[in-house]
Structure 1
């Protein structure tokens, strides 16, 4: 379904056929796909399959409008509104999904799946597994080519730091993945959108979704863009360089506090010799300020000052 977009999903094949007839009556051809492989379940079992209807990308908007206009007649299915719900996330990652159902799947935490009594919601754990393997491969390849002078131990240490839970959680926070996670009520109440582990898992699942939707090249390109600055930091500060931002984030997480925000509050000096002043904010309250020759350096210094403040008696 390379040129098709999913516009409707239901557990009822009868309802799926009704929707197909509705679309065809308006001149829109559609295709059916099921989340249950027919090689495993050759017989269709009503209420078991997650049946999806796809239409050509150029007709997706019109198909959604038609289905929505007849919404009162559709009892079990749901209109897929990933175009709206995940639009900001797609913009942030610089990739548009052909099958937006993959993106929804990647954002579905096990707590949401466990609360679904129909059994039709699948969590993202398998996608986390795939994304973790994909990320490890691409980052290892990047380090192999970027740091030929590093021995095996240095490469392994660098890779472990780059793909750590704290590192991936920071990447996820920057992309605001937490806002798009589909959580169960219990996980929502306990602040799941701010938990490092959930953010990192969602990030890995997102990588898998990009790979499954577009193949290895879009996934590799995304990871390369995401880790370009981090790899540059390794070249500047070395393998064992102190990462105060990571340390601050881990300390705040251990105290059940939200992730810190870094705000640029001032720019000083001429263009050829600028200094950047950055403020660290937690729960809307400023913790510290610092300056640096780059925003990243200023953020690191501000994080160091915040750590000292939080650790002081």
Structure 2
């Protein structure tokens, strides 16, 4: 560039211009090195690059990248600090509030989650995802009735929102409303019957209604979909135990012990002939039959 300036009579760059150009070069280097590192799964290095870029000058896009990287690393407090800066700069950006709510949910900070949802609803009151997240916040705070109302509104806004149907159904079942939960189960079994979560929910609804045979069939399907589903083995075993099928209950509990021994307290896995009934009874004595 200096040669061109000399040829055409231009002046050389001033020290200030050189410093500015160097800052731009270094900022771009750190920013795009961070982007490449993130795409390659090198999240630690990406975070370092983004932080170095921000030391050079402020950039909301870099803060956005940094928040996402911190979330992937499980550094939720740091991510929320970045999201706070982004929210102050762009108060009408619903996506930022949504990410903050989702991050708060991972921290089980339901009050902070609710606050983020309220900000988002102030911008877009007809956003189905925001209503769904707000429902999760209410569930976390023990407000099941309000959560159901929020989920019903989310479904009205987006009739294909499977997650909202599933969460509403689970909440209704937890409240003891088997009829309401059953209605959501029927929809889900029509629209997403291959989903492990949907099948597990459907089995629990049938169990709550006393339809043990149907529940057993559905638990079998869950296990076909995922042979490592601890909940399905545990809950299927509970039905077998209640029906007097001690061998079936023993086999399912043995599988639970193998897959997740920490979930069954005081059971050592020694199923000798003399101790089978006692150990299975001990294993199932504290299990909620609905899996709730």
Q: Does TM-score exceed 0.5, indicating one fold? A: no
TM-score normalised to the size of structure 2?
0.29
* TM-score computed with the length of structure 1 as normaliser: 0.28
Q: Which has the larger radius of gyration?
A: 2
Which structure shows the bigger proportion of residues in helix conformation?
2
The one of the two structures with greater contact order (alpha-carbon pairs below 8 A, sep at least 6) is 1
